[in-house]
Amino acid sequence: MTVILETKSLNKEFGAVIAAKDLDVRISKGEIVGVIGSNGAGKTTFINMVTGYLKPTRGEILFNGKSILGHSPRAITRAGMARSFQVAQLFPEMTVLDNLIVALAAAESPRPSFLSPLRSDKRIARAEDILREFGVENYRDSLVTAVPQGARKLVDIAMALIGNPQMLLLDEPTSGVSMDEKTGLMDTVMNAVRQHGVTVLFVEHDMDVVERYVSRVLAFYSGEIIADGQPSAVLADERVRDLVTGHRPTHKKGNGVS
Amino acid sequence: MRFDKTEISLAAVAIALVLFGFVSPGWLIFLLTIAFAKALVVQGVVMQMRSGLVSFGQGLFYCIGGYTVGMGGQFFGIHDAIAALSLGMLVAIAVAMVLGLLLTRYRDIFFAMLSLAFSMILFGILVKSPELGSTDGFNVHNWTIFGWAPDGGESSQHTVFTLTILAGLVIAVLIHRYTKAGIGVICEAVRENEVRVEYLGLSPRWLLYGNYVSAAAVSALGGGLTALATGHVDPEMAYWTTSGEFIFIALLGGLGHVAAPFIAAVVFSVVRTYAIELVPHTWQMILGFTLLGVIVFLPKGLWSLVSRKKAGERA
Ligand SMILES: Nc1ncnc2c1ncn2[C@@H]1O[C@H](COP(=O)(O)OP(=O)(O)OP(=O)(O)O)[C@@H](O)[C@H]1O
Ligand SMILES: [Mg+2]
């Protein structure tokens, strides 16, 4: 299988805190990978480094075999790697529709037009399709500030997908979303992702959600990857149970470790 | 080309103003000319405010526009008003293209202070230039328009007035479109969330750069028209209190509509004129209270009076 993302001894230190320690990760095209780990384990730091938001202290990052180390987030986005955020990153004082339209225009060209209207009929129609695909059409004209968390997360992910990325990194897509909404949200996202044939890596605290969608799990602890493999194997691993998931008697126990 | 409702209304008001110019007294024509010319400078401030940046140094481009018109006539034999105004805009664009490279790295108060610094540097240079009249500045040479020379004060005043209205109309229509175009909306997106813009694969810096340069051109046009109207330029145009006035007018009008800076500039001129007559030594106090009132009661500027009324009618 072709490797799409590879990191080689990736390190990140914040003063004395080691947020990433010799991370060697290889992800193949088409994989759906779950990332688990307790608070402060270094999951977001990993995504931030890979997408150019944080500069690694040491190491190498290859995307489609080419180094993207030191590239800007926008260059990495244009190269085909998109992300969502732990806290949805939207344009709060704009309507949901406008958020999507801005993303559509950005995907069309890195140089926005100076005089032709952004809200063209074509873009509005496309944005409405996307709103429907993600089941948030009711919020079309609401300002983002007036939209509930779950819908914001969906808009955030929709915006990431608009550029037709080859790979999508989702940082806790279901955080801040109520228990009973989680599966619906993830189903929506995963349907969209499958249609686009995207490789996905997503961070998730809820082990039920992880088991339901992924073919592989990376377990982070204190900046290191302590287990990597099939979900059943990783979740049964003793260190993972000690350090990440806690000793869950069976399934269905709240939020996992948050 | 198709025009929307706003553009047609702007054109109607412009035509009405041009006609009004034929019957109105000279002092009022002058007041309106200066107000509308300044409003163009304010448009430049507002364009940047939309992107989240407050320029405390828009006087720089106001001054560049004015001095280019003045120097073009005095030293380089450029007497055609349109040519001089265009040249002023080009010089402003060239200067902004250089300064923008540095300024777009900064945000918030750092951007504000750096823009102020550049305008004060120009002020300093002009004050120390005896060839340009130092602190006194110099007079603008008699000018022509399409080969026609207005005879005397009254006629030239009337010509500048018409020119200002027409330039104002063209710029207003362009800005109206710009605001709704990719760059305009995405500049607002930069103000809202720069990180997200970056992760859509766009460069916030490039957007702010394009916006900064465009705003400079618009402001320079305002400076050039002011020079034609007053027949005089001096370094005060680049002084920080002048830039402060532009921010004042921008806040007064609000960011709600392209017409707001024009209305606010007229209101500002009228309030100031009466305040100076009423209390010659403490007129600034009246301006201060005006701004206080606007910020407290109309945080979105005078335009919110209009938009509120419209919303009321719709309801
Ligand atoms: N910008 C920063 N400056 C200093 N320390 C940081 C910074 N970002 C992260 N850290 C530290 O690095 C470690 C890893 O943080 P990170 O945000 O990657 O964790 P996480 O696994 O995403 O946790 P969570 O589940 O809470 O989101 C933590 O100890 C955190 O305090
Ligand atoms: Mg995190």
Name the residue at shortest CA distance from atom 8 of ligand 1. A45
* Ligand 1 contact via A41 beta carbon (within 6 Å): yes
Condensed to tens digits (0 to 9), the pLDDT of residues A216-253 reads 999 999 888 888 888 887 887 777 787 777 755 444 44
Distance, CA of B126 to CA of B85 (rounded, Å) = 20
CATH 3.40.50.300 fits A3-92+165-245, yes or no: yes
Q: Tell me what pLDDT residue A248 has.
A: 55
* Ligand 1 contact via A256 beta carbon (within 6 Å): no
Q: Tell me what pLDDT residue A255 has.
A: 43
Strands (E), chain A: 3-14, 17-28, 32-36, 58-63, 66-67, 81-83, 167-171, 199-203, 216-221, 224-229
* Residue indicated by tokens 């992880």: A210
Task: Using the predicted structure, report yes or no on whether residue B227 has a pLDDT greater than 90.
Answer: yes
Q: Tell me what pLDDT residue B109 has.
A: 95
Mean pLDDT rounded to a whole number for chain A: 88
Please list, in sequence order, all residues whose beta carbon lies within 8 angstroms of the beta carbon of residue A168, skipping any fewer than 6 positions away: A81, A82, A83, A84, A157, A160, A161, A193, A198, A199, A200, A201
Condensed to tens digits (0 to 9), the pLDDT of residues A75-112 reads 999 999 999 998 999 999 999 999 999 999 999 998 88
- Other Cβ atoms less than 10 A from the Cβ of B17: the count is 21
Return the percentage of chain B with pLDDT > 90, whole number: 68
Q: What are phi and psi of A62, to 5 degrees?
A: -115, 130
| Subunit contact B193:A113, Cβ cutoff 8 A | no
Q: What angle do CA A104, A108, A109 make, to 5 degrees?
A: 120
Distance, CA of A69 to CA of A62 (rounded, Å) = 8
Task: Using the predicted structure, report yes or no on whether residue A258 has a pLDDT greater than 60.
Answer: no
CB-based contact, A54 to chain B, within 8 Å: no
* Ligand 1 contact via A12 beta carbon (within 6 Å): no
Can you tell me whether residue A14 is helix, strand or coil? strand
* Ligand 1 contact via A218 beta carbon (within 6 Å): no
Q: What angle do CA B56, B60, B65 make, to 5 degrees?
A: 140
Beta bridge partners of B148: B145
> Counting Cβ atoms within 10 Å, is residue A252 exposed (0-12), middle (13-18) or buried (19+)?
exposed
Condensed to tens digits (0 to 9), the pLDDT of residues B115-169 reads 999 999 999 999 999 888 888 888 888 888 887 878 777 788 889 999 999 999 9
Condensed to tens digits (0 to 9), the pLDDT of residues B302-312 reads 888 887 777 66
Condensed to tens digits (0 to 9), the pLDDT of residues A122-141 reads 999 999 999 998 889 999 99
Within chain B, residue ranges assigned H as helices are 5-23, 26-50, 59-75, 81-103, 108-127, 152-180, 182-192, 194-198, 204-230, 240-253, 260-278, 283-297, 303-314
- Other Cβ atoms less than 10 A from the Cβ of B75: the count is 12
Q: Tell me what pLDDT residue A247 has.
A: 57
Cα–Cα distance list, A211 to A39, A169, A191, B253, B299 (Å): 20, 17, 16, 56, 51
Domain spans in chain A, listed from the N-terminal domain onward: 3-92+165-245
CB-based contact, B112 to chain A, within 8 Å: no
**Does residue B291 contact residue B248 with C-beta atoms inside 8 Å?**
yes
Q: Which residues of B touch A92 (CB under 8 A)?
A: 192-193
CB-based contact, A91 to chain B, within 8 Å: yes
| Subunit contact A89:B198, Cβ cutoff 8 A | no
Task: Using the predicted structure, report yes or no on whether residue B291 has a pLDDT greater than 90.
Answer: no
CB-based contact, A48 to chain B, within 8 Å: no
Name the residue at shortest CA distance from atom 5 of ligand 1. A14
| Subunit contact A74:B180, Cβ cutoff 8 A | no
Q: Tell me what pLDDT residue B6 has.
A: 92
Which residue in B290, B291, B258 sits closest to B39, CA to CA? B258
Mean pLDDT rounded to a whole number for chain B: 91
Task: Using the predicted structure, report yes or no on whether residue B294 has a pLDDT greater than 70.
Answer: yes
Cα–Cα distance list, B85 to A242, B61, B233 (Å): 74, 12, 14
- A170 CA → ligand 1 middle, Å: 16
Q: What is the largest CA-CA distance in chain A?
A: 62
CB-based contact, B190 to chain A, within 8 Å: no
- A104 CA → ligand 1 middle, Å: 31
User: Which residues have their alpha-adjacent CB atom under 5 A from ion ligand 2?
Assistant: A 43-44, 86
| Subunit contact B201:A115, Cβ cutoff 8 A | no
- B130 CA → ligand 2 middle, Å: 62
Task: Using the predicted structure, report yes or no on whether residue B92 has a pLDDT greater than 90.
Answer: yes
Please list, in sequence order, all residues whose beta carbon lies within 8 angstroms of the beta carbon of residue B216, skipping any fewer than 6 positions away: B44, B61, B92, B93, B95, B96, B100
Cα–Cα distance list, B7 to B3, B12, B21, B45, B179 (Å): 6, 9, 21, 21, 13
> What HEC string does A202-239 produce?
EECCCHHHHHHHCCEEEEEECCEEEEEECHHHHHHCHH
